Structure 1
Amino acid sequence: MKLTIGKERLTARRLIDLVTRSLLGAMLCIGVEAISIRSAWASEQNPGDWFAQISEPTSQEITGLQILETDAGFEIVLVTEGSLPAASVSTVGNAVVLEIADAVLALSEGDRFEEFSPAEGVALVQVSNTVGGVEIAITGTDAPPVVESSSGPQGFSVSVFPGVAITDNTLEESSEDEIQLTVTATRREETLDDIPRSVTIITREDLEAQTALSRRNVEDILSRLIPGASPPSGRTLGTFNLRGQEVSILIDGIPQDTNSNATFSAPLAGLDPSTIERIEVVRGPNAIFGGQAIGGVVNIITRQPAEDELVHTTELGISSALTNANEGQGYTVSQQISGRSGAVDFTGGVTFDFVGQSYDAEGDRVGDAFSFDNTRSLNGLLNIGVNLSEQERLQLRANYTQSRRVSDFVSDESIADIPGIQKARLIRRPDGTQIIGAEDDTRFDNTNISLSYSDENLFGSEFLGQLYYRSYSTDGGFPSDNRLFGGTTISFQRGETEQFGTRLQVDTPFNEEETLSLLWGLDYSQDRIFQNSVFFDTEEFDNSGGLIFRQTEEAAFIPPYDFSDLGLFAQMQWEPTDRWTLNGGTRYVNLQASVDDYQAISLFSEDPPRDIEGGSVNADGFVFNVGTVYDFADNVSAFASFGQGFSFPDLGRVLRRPPGEIDSFADTIDLNSPVRVDNYELGIRGNWNTVQTSLAGFFNYSDSGFDLLFNEDGTLRNVRAPRRVYGVEGTVDWQPASNWRLGSTLSWQEGELDEDNDSEFLAFDSFTISPIKATAYIENQTTTNWRNRLQLLYSGNRSRGFDDGNDGAPIDAYLTVDLLSTLDVGNGEVSLGVRNLFNALYFPVEAQAVAPFFDPGNYAGSGTSLSLSYKFTW
């Protein structure tokens, strides 16, 4: 499906832009006002005051008040000549407080009302005027009462039911239930406390809050929330890894990574966060998953119907850069629907999203030609489930995403000639620029289809079978003049991967208590991968003054190759006591790759194409993992684990850049041999009523890792060498009161490789190893329906890569602060997000790492930007 807007639609497009900008003008006034009065939030005035400053409505008078006895409690009736707005409700100790904005108490007996002991279980009712409205405080004797309020044409009523005191035992049981989170990223449902590895769970609430800040970029959300993940890059083709290793990304069980994932894939580009129920991340390798799961597994679970009735959810949103609003506007329209009918349930939805131009803290266009700027994304989701019986279920899932970037601006590569490191910038395409015979924009398409069958009791075991298909492609972009870097051509790249696969697993318990069980099964996938270079006429380009790009031919940059991955696994879990859990298993891996004869082309040299003889490579082996968790107390557990990873390196890199002496694919066995990684981890977790914390240390080693490193001239080279990575990760969350939440994460990692194999390890570059990263947040439920959150991200300094010659310059630290605010407005929710609240000028780690070699890659991060959305259910 294409979203091209042709010339015949120009008038409609201008009309849409005009309406969008008009709406933005109004919303930006509100956003700027919200930022300018943030100091007032720290004062003691009522949170509703600043809303009143914007609208300044006329207060409605309350002329009468009655307390009427009911069967279950009593009712407070306020008499007015007109209707009152809905009240906000909050709980303070044993008191429930209702705040009615735009109202004034005008009783004949005064402006304050009190009633002591109006009913059993209620000690006091107080009604009084406050700044901007009326406050009703109802205090229970042993517990907060339960209240229900309603507003009519000529009055307002509050039904009050005495509360029931909660015993300490009840509270402890309730809190314990809340922290027993279930994780499925280990291929079976198990509680967080039983997993001997570091785990992060991103809930639906977390996703909704972060979406306003990350421009619906799931990869940036993961980078912000997961310890050990590389810092946010803001790019479609950014570097994302865990603990310096590649990760396996699953969407409803379908792998989103391929053997050539790091070469041209962007599996999360265009994925709509509103379609996601939760994300589970298990860090470190294990024998349960194969593929690229050396750094860990990111398991993305899409939405399921929550209610039996038909539910529609609509979301409308706008966004804009605040440092320069020119072309910085964006918008979102999303419609989701779900429901159940008998044995059938379904969830579906469509989201259309446009991200405008981003500007840095100095008001300049962010000079990144691979960002999400000026990108239109379309996301469609359909989940249909049928319960064949009480224990059998059939599930069909389909998800399609498309991202299309259309921009009149391109990277200014001339800054590479200026001495020193320059900030990347964009320049407008000259008038009359034409791209003939090829895509004029950058496009990513991703299709996932899966069919699953599950049986909770198949001969005493739980069974899950799945068939899946995935297609991913990228195309288009502004052509690059390779002659600036020693080549002879003008080109861009397009690529595609098509994948078929199946997953079968059986969970067999060996006793009624299910304290001993075996998870076993197989995975198989077959990929077809290629990437082509599209070439343009250099003579016509030169004669036209650099205005006309006419496609002349297309040739294989990564020749089409087939890749298959077969895995047979078995994982035993044993709970010898209530406090002790042991698990361990093995996986047999068989990997095959084949390619036909092809010509290897060099884009950045004058060397002619080289004939390379095709062939196939095969590797197999066993990997193992073992782990244990011991509960030292009801709230404290320690874990230890050993896990191995086994995968082919990125063969696309090898095929497109074979060493000069190689003329046969079979002769590249030194480059193509599998990467085996051993990972060791120790950790401790604490889960109390108001505090949750974790601390873990890890070390992984490979005697033949595969890495891509910069040469001094800025070109890249493939390196097979021993490598080691180690680090520490910690998290803490604290709920000091019912309406306050605070938390922080900290991750530090370091890594080295021995390229010369002389036992002298040198530090990795900062593409692979990220600097120390810390996050923190403070969240307040200001009223029952209003929530505010401040969060920060700190990325530290790193000089080891530069000191050892693998980075071109030291990496500098930076700090960003974000604001999120959510207001419940009855049947809907308004969300406000302010990104980079204090407008810090910073350069992401990825930009700093490439800057010494290529100035146009040294892009600044986004300055202050605003997002506002309204979501309602009907």
Structure 2
Amino acid sequence: MKKKLILLLLLQITSQIHAQESENLELNETVVETTRIPEIVKNSSSSVIVVSKETIESLAMSNPDMSVILGLAVPSIGLSSNTTSNRSQTMRGRQMLIMIDGIPQSTPLRNTDRDIRSISPFAIERIEVIEGASSLYGSGAIGGVVNFVTKKNNTDRLFNGETSIGITDARFKQGDHAFGYKLNQQFYGKVNKFDYLVNGGIVTTGRGVDGERKFISPRYGLSDVMAKSIMAKVGYNFSTNTRIEAMYNYFSSEQDTDLIAAEGKYLQSPRIGIVGEKDVRAVNEGTRYNHNAYVKFISKDIFKNTNLDLSLYTQNLYTIFDYRANNPRSPRWEETGGQAAIKAEKYGARLNFLSALNLSKDIKMSVLYGGDFMLDETSQPLVDGRLWVPKLKAYNSAVFLQTVTNFYHKFSLKAGVRYDNILVKVPNYKTIPTRANQEWVSIEGGNLSYEKPTFNTLLQYHVAKEFNPYVSFSQGFAIFDLGRVLRTANADVVSKIETDPVATTNYEVGFTSKIAKKINLKFAYYWSHSKLGSDLAAGDDGFWKVVRNPQLIQGLEVQADTKINKYVFVGGSYSYLEGKLKSEGSSTYDDYMSGLSIPAPKLTLFTTITPVDNFTVNLMYTHTQERNRFHPVLNNSGNLVYKEGEGKVSPIDLFNLSSNYKMNNMRISLGIENLFNKTYYTSSSMLMARNNEYARGNGRYYTLGFTVNY
């Protein structure tokens, strides 16, 4: 206990971890491109966050899972579920659009809930985050945008390389099989006008163990998982103004374990893993492959004061979920067991023109205009061949106009409009009945059309470094998992099924501040409402249903950091939000939104200590508060139980430690996840309120790494 109190005294000021940068490079000078008009972060005014490569590497020392890294690094994103699913990991209480170099990873026609875990952290240069509804990229960004920006060559040398190895263990004990390893190899360089970077790696985990050294349930689990990745990027500069670039990224993550799930009683005992034999019909779950590629042509001054950026991209994804044995009390798939999968393909093009207009000496404007097109094909088959969701085809097209105007170096005005048109083609199909003696229901397909203009505007006043207030308005919309609705449809015609998209309107006020040249402070208060909600609730047949009741979300975020002296840098962040909806027939927001959307308040504190040259220690403390908004209700058996998604979420306190020592071109690192080996249940397992998902988080894990550059 004394150790914890001493550590807490070191963590004195709230801030964002992504402010951890080297002494000669301030994060505020980073140019962010996810805003579509490249700009320096400190001038972006809205809630734009950049998670640097240094921060990613520091967090990955203790846990390389991208959902863990995002949950710790971004105040508005909930903590990881410690599973393969990011279903409840929302941004500001709503769905976020995940991208790799601008390529959408989300599958709105049938959501995989796996889009965060779509890339290796060792392939990422930085993560750019736009918090709050965004109309910049179209459907899916009702909570915000996360863009994983892949690495690229940044030297003029012919050949460079980096080799990293690491070992991970929970107990350093023979026979528990909790051992894992990491291998990553990178080559990069430049030959005349040609530059290249190739990165490949393997990350394996052993059996997951909690603080009491019990094996964690393998359901949707990260036990015995092997993740493989390859990323290649090449570019050719025709001139200083003209460049062509190509990127390919492959990622897979597959679980092959001898653990099976056992026990588990909500609020009493955890679901654990025991050594056993799984069903002979079950195949290994996980993302078998996720291919992303683009070809990009960039031309500066293609005509007067105008730059061109043309991208062609594709994505191909195949994910397999866990095997479900038949449950006689709640049967599915003709009273048989089965294993669902999702297959998705995307082909897209993005055309940007960026023009600079100097309206006068003191009024300067940047204008972005162009169009997006994407073909999205998604289906959900069972592994045995039966088709649960037919192949849906969505034709997405949009035109957009975005402007940024600076007045007298005092005011910045952003304004934009985007018009999206989405046509979804649904073929004739049949739904799989739950009972063996039932006929398959025939559904007549058809076309579903969505048209939506969305607007955004933001005004910032540059009073002084000490105070830069802003106010913003933005809209977003999303198709809310169409396949989930279609696969259990009772209507005979698609046009009779309620499929209206979710549209949100977001307002935000806040300010940024730099005090005494050393204290950075940021504050934001926001509120977001939608006429149609997107919460999920469990239906009587055991399948999730979409709750369309109107929603209102309000929240605030505070971030700060400061460099105390040349040895110590401290900071952290605090995020609070609450969401309510209108119950049936109500004219007011009188009921709370479930934990699937609204996370518990989160506090993050950190300190970075450099006691001697080339030696750095990072200590991070994460605290989530209680969220207990619901009461148990009587189930069919007459027992009081919580509804799924409405469970009681208790507080969590976790410490993570990472350190590294540099020697010339070598670096030795040590990461410790859950430093004090706390036994706890993940927020996701608590809010789900289901015996099968009531699982604990990781106990103490050690990761020792070695990196050499040449």
TM > 0.5: yes
Question: Are 1:457 and 2:272 counterparts?
Answer: no
Deviation for aligned residue 1:207: 0.7
Q: 1:442 to 1:287 in 2, by over 3 A?
A: closer
AA partner of residue 220 (structure 2): F
Question: Are 1:447 and 2:291 counterparts?
Answer: yes
CA distance in 2, matches of 1:40, 1:771: 26
Q: Share of identical aligned residues, percent?
A: 24
Question: Are 1:393 and 2:239 counterparts?
Answer: no
SS at match of 2:586: coil
Q: Which residue of 2 aligns with 1:221?
A: 69
2:349 to 502, 505, 511: 502
Where do 5+ consecutive residues of structure 2 fail to align? Answer: 9-22, 634-641
Q: 1:575 to 1:420 in 2, by over 3 A?
A: closer
Deviation for aligned residue 1:579: 1.6
Length-normalised TM-score, structure 2: 0.91
Question: Are 1:612 and 2:440 counterparts?
Answer: no
Report Cα offsets for 1:144-203 as digits up to 9, x if no partner: xxxxxxxxxxxxxxxxxxxxxxxxxxxxxx989763332111012112232231121110
Q: 1:443 to 1:177 in 2, by over 3 A?
A: closer
Q: Which residue of 2 aligns with 1:565?
A: 396
CA distance in 1, matches of 2:565, 2:182: 35
Deviation for aligned residue 1:402: 1.2
Q: Which residue of 2 aligns with 1:622?
A: 453
Question: Are 1:429 and 2:276 counterparts?
Answer: yes
2:374 to 495, 500, 525: 525
- Contact 1:455/1:462, CA 8 A, preserved across alignment: yes
Q: 1:803 to 1:583 in 2, by over 3 A?
A: farther
Report Cα offsets for 1:112-142 as digits up to 9, x if no partner: xxxxxxxxxxxxxxxxxxxxxxxxxxxxxxx
- Contact 1:745/1:774, CA 8 A, preserved across alignment: yes
Q: Which residue of 2 aligns with 1:319?
A: 168
CA distance in 1, matches of 2:438, 2:629: 36
CA distance in 1, matches of 2:448, 2:96: 23
SS at match of 1:206: helix
Report Cα offsets for 1:79-115 as digits up to 9, x if no partner: xxxxxxxxxxxxxxxxxxxxxxxxxxxxxxxxxxxxx
Deviation for aligned residue 1:350: 1.1
Q: Which residue of 2 aligns with 1:815?
A: 653
Q: Which residue of 2 aligns with 1:232?
A: 80
1:291 to 131, 139, 144: 139
Deviation for aligned residue 1:346: 0.4
Q: 1:193 to 1:469 in 2, by over 3 A?
A: same
AA partner of residue 554 (structure 1): G
1:676 to 503, 510, 513: 503
- Contact 1:410/1:478, CA 8 A, preserved across alignment: no
CA distance in 1, matches of 2:420, 2:102: 19
Q: Which residue of 2 aligns with 1:23?
A: none
CA distance in 1, matches of 2:4, 2:592: 44
Deviation for aligned residue 1:584: 0.5
Question: Are 1:210 and 2:54 counterparts?
Answer: no
Question: Could you tell which deviates more after superposition, 474-483 or 287-296?
Answer: 474-483
Deviation for aligned residue 1:304: 1.1
Q: 1:559 to 1:506 in 2, by over 3 A?
A: same
- Contact 1:368/1:857, CA 8 A, preserved across alignment: no
Q: Which has the higher contact order (CA 8 A, sep 6+)?
A: 2
Q: Which residue of 2 aligns with 1:864?
A: 700
Q: 1:420 to 1:253 in 2, by over 3 A?
A: closer
Equivalence map 1:744-755=2 (5 Å): 744-755=572-583
Q: Which residue of 2 aligns with 1:687?
A: 514
Q: Which residue of 2 aligns with 1:82?
A: none
Equivalence map 1:63-82=2 (5 Å): none
- Contact 1:631/1:637, CA 8 A, preserved across alignment: yes
Question: Are 1:516 and 2:365 counterparts?
Answer: yes
Question: Could you tell which deviates more after superposition, 746-755 or 321-330?
Answer: 321-330
SS at match of 2:328: helix
Q: Which residue of 2 aligns with 1:796?
A: 625
Deviation for aligned residue 1:792: 0.9
Question: Could you tell which deviates more after superposition, 863-872 or 822-831?
Answer: 822-831
SS at match of 2:220: coil
Q: Which residue of 1 aligns with 2:36?
A: 187
Equivalence map 1:147-546=2 (5 Å): 179-214=28-63, 216-239=64-87, 240-260=89-109, 263-269=111-117, 271-309=119-157, 310-322=159-171, 326-412=176-262, 415=263, 421-430=268-277, 435=280, 439-460=283-304, 461-475=306-320, 477-483=322-328, 485-487=330-332, 488-511=335-358, 515-534=364-383
Question: Could you tell which deviates more after superposition, 562-571 or 368-377?
Answer: 368-377
Question: Are 1:837 and 2:701 counterparts?
Answer: no
Where do 5+ consecutive residues of structure 1 fail to align? Answer: 1-36, 43-173, 535-552
SS at match of 2:221: coil
Deviation for aligned residue 1:612: 1.1
CA distance in 1, matches of 2:401, 2:454: 11
CA distance in 2, matches of 1:288, 1:270: 22
CA distance in 1, matches of 2:279, 2:525: 54
The list of structure 1 runs, each at least 4 consecutive aligned residues, that deviate by more than 6 angstroms after superposition, is 37-42, 174-178
Deviation for aligned residue 1:702: 0.6
SS at match of 2:202: strand
SS at match of 2:536: strand
1:775 to 604, 628, 639: 604
- Contact 2:90/2:598, CA 8 A, preserved across alignment: no
Count how many residue pairs are aligned between Structure 1 and Structure 2.
676
Alignment RMSD, CA only?
2.5
Deviation for aligned residue 1:293: 1.0
Q: Which residue of 1 aligns with 2:421?
A: 590
AA partner of residue 505 (structure 1): N
AA partner of residue 259 (structure 2): F
Deviation for aligned residue 1:484: 5.4
Deviation for aligned residue 1:648: 2.0
Report Cα offsets for 1:223-251 as digits up to 9, x if no partner: 11101111121221122220111111121
CA distance in 1, matches of 2:657, 2:559: 21
Length-normalised TM-score, structure 1: 0.74
Question: Are 1:787 and 2:616 counterparts?
Answer: yes
